Homo-oligomer: A and B are copies of this chain.
Amino acid sequence: MALYDLMFSQLDVTSSQLLVNDGFFRDTAFRKQLSDTVSSLLDLRVIPIFNENDAVSTRKAPYEGKNCLQDSSGIFWDNDSLAGLLALELKADLLVLLSDVEGLYSGPPSDPKSKLIHTYVKEKHQSEITFGEKSRLGRGGMTAKVNAAVCAAYAGTPVIITSGYATDNIIRVLRGERIGTVFHKDAHLWTSIKEVSAHEMAVAARNSSRRLQVLNSEERRKILLAMADALEINESVIRLENGADVADAEEMGYEKALISRLTLRPEKISSLVKSVRMLADMEEPIGQILKRTELADKLILEKISCPLGVLLVIFESRPDALVQIAALAIRSGNGLLLKGGKEAKRSNAILHKVITSIIPDTVGDKLIGLVTSREDIPDLLKLDDVIDLVVPRGSNKLVSQIKGTTKIPVLGHADGICHVYVDKTANIDMAKKIIRDAKIDYPAACNAMETLLVHVDLSRNGGLDELVAELQREGVQLYGGPRASNLLNISETHSFHLEYSSLACTVEIVDDVFAAIDHIHHHGSAHTECIVAEDSEVAEAFLSQVDSAAVFHNASTRFCDGTRFGLGAEVGISTGRIHARGPVGVEGLLTNRWILRGSGHVVNSDRGVTYTYKDLPVKA
């Protein structure tokens, strides 16, 4: 109490100790007086601090199994149940119980598999949760807190259990931030689209995907064709809903580029329909035999392609991405959770409705789930047990954030710092054409040139000047490395690891192709690099040594794209090295299984069979 007093007094707040005994609460007069006392104290801006009057307590049996707190006649046996009792008695708007952990977990908080439960739903969680060891700090572990919280919440006072370690947690709770575990008697009504269902959606998508895989190739093809037809048939309603999103976006004053990406023009819809039909007609990707080996007589091993499972795709603005990704998922036999931007909310909803309407009942329309609430992203990213791959399609910031916060593999790229190196043997006219395209064609693209490296000899024979003039003519703002800024008298860049995404570019002089390679390894993002050179030996050194997802000779970096690479629809471009690298099409959504067919073969310490290891043709 002295500590409370001291700490409140530092804030110029007066506090007042109220010691109560459990028996008191049986007395209606006492309860009335208690309310009055607290009201008076609060009117005087005095904070009441309750505790049990231990010195004169006569209580022996612990409170438990009583008729909860609903009739306010229960007794308490620890500070948690006292708090619950008081919250009800005093008709508190909210009860905050502070713990030594972040809130209620699905299992012992020390177990990495345990997950923080944001919203407690009695029907769901009561039987599911396993509590860890009781906190060593006195009575009132998590079990006691949950009992008190459930009692108070179902009697009408919402409760939040959160950590007392972070000093601003109470303020964050009052601000409505999503921390700790909330207990509310109506929780079962509003958790249907919260974490409960993120998990359920993923499980349903996986189950549907398994049924999708069982279909034969022709049946999957028919789903895609039906999807294309449905998009055509529903074009007017799709455009209507999209028009509403666009109107809202214009009213909100969003920038033109975003509105352009958001708008589903008739030609965009027809091109989408076309690409869905193309995917329908592509060679069946599932069940392809990748390798076939005779291990021993009549023991045949096959490595076959199969879907990854459940994909989570998080995309911004472009509603057409929803259609492309859904088609890719169906083609590759995967379940899908989609999370679109709020600016395309109505467009996404109608597209999702149109697409799922044609999924046959044998598969189930839960194959493709549309997640709508923004706060669900953190919950989704925790589902590493049911989601197999996350594909973020959006800003660098979005991608970096997602990579930083999930254990689910992420396919994508944060930075696209692409280099063009112009060798001394370059055809300067070709180099001008390539750097112009690489920078100007679409400056905001991830495959646009951000850094131009030029062989030192070109700074002496006018080549560099021609290249620089070409870019400046197009209005490109140039920043130099230490050598180039000196030579060209332009501003020096503060970093070589810079993605402008606009009409700007870094220029630097390098001594030769090896210096260029070193520069790229040191400052690049391993996305796409290009060498312009006539000397094929120099070019091959660059192609073989530059360790990026895509390395080009005498061609614009802008070619790094799934469609231009002929992969059909593109999932994204990966700068990761695991699983898929560079532009990713259907292949990146597949994994493999090993199928072994025998007739009673056993290992028996490797004396069971005589290994033959014959490669067999993959077409049986």
Is A547 interfacial (CB 8 A cutoff)?
yes
Is A33 interfacial (CB 8 A cutoff)?
no
Q: A437-B608, A564-B611 are in contact. Are A559 and B595 (CB under 8 A)?
A: no
Cross-chain contact B600 with A554 (CB below 8 angstroms): yes
CA A3 – CA B3 in complex, angstroms?
8
Q: A592-B582, A613-B566 are in contact. Are A437 and B602 (CB under 8 A)?
A: yes
Cross-chain contact B433 with A603 (CB below 8 angstroms): no
Is A299 interfacial (CB 8 A cutoff)?
yes
Stretch at the interface among A85-93, A176-184, A348-356, A573-581: A573-581
Interface string of A578-601 (1 = CB under 8 A from B): 110111000000011111111111
Q: Nearest CB to that of A299 among chain B residues?
A: B555
Cross-chain contact A566 with B441 (CB below 8 angstroms): no
Cross-chain contact B565 with A598 (CB below 8 angstroms): no
Cross-chain contact B3 with A577 (CB below 8 angstroms): no
Interface string of A286-303 (1 = CB under 8 A from B): 010000010100010101
Most B-side CB within 10 Å, residue of A436, A543, A547, A600: A600
Most B-side CB within 10 Å, residue of A303, A547, A593: A593
Is A8 interfacial (CB 8 A cutoff)?
no
Cross-chain contact A560 with B594 (CB below 8 angstroms): yes
Which range holds the interface residue count of chain A?
Answer: 35 or more
Cross-chain contact A293 with B566 (CB below 8 angstroms): yes
Cross-chain contact B600 with A558 (CB below 8 angstroms): no
Q: A389-B578, A566-B295, A578-B308 are in contact. Are A441 and B602 (CB under 8 A)?
A: yes
Min C-beta distance of A279 to chain B, whole Å: 15
Report copies per complex.
2
Q: A434-B600, A437-B604 are in contact. Are A565 and B210 (CB under 8 A)?
A: no
Residues in B whose Cβ lies below 8 Å from that of A606: 564
Residues in B whose Cβ lies below 8 Å from that of A489: none
Residues in B whose Cβ lies below 8 Å from that of A299: 555, 559
Q: Which residues of A contact B (CB under 8 A)?
A: 2-3, 6-7, 10, 112, 165-166, 210, 213-214, 287, 293, 295, 299, 301, 303, 306, 308-309, 388-389, 400, 403-404, 407, 409, 427, 430, 433-434, 436-438, 441-442, 521, 543-545, 547-556, 558-560, 564-566, 577-579, 581-583, 591-606, 608, 611, 613
Interchain residue pairs A-B with the least CB separation, the first 10: A555-B598, A437-B602, A558-B603, A430-B600, A579-B579, A112-B404, A550-B594, A552-B596, A566-B613, A555-B601
Given contacts A213-B544, A581-B594, 7 further A-B contacts (CB under 8 A): A3-B7, A6-B6, A112-B404, A437-B602, A550-B596, A554-B598, A555-B598
- Could you show 11 A-B contacts with beta carbons less than 8 Å apart? A3-B7, A112-B400, A210-B547, A214-B544, A293-B566, A295-B564, A433-B602, A441-B602, A441-B605, A551-B594, A577-B591
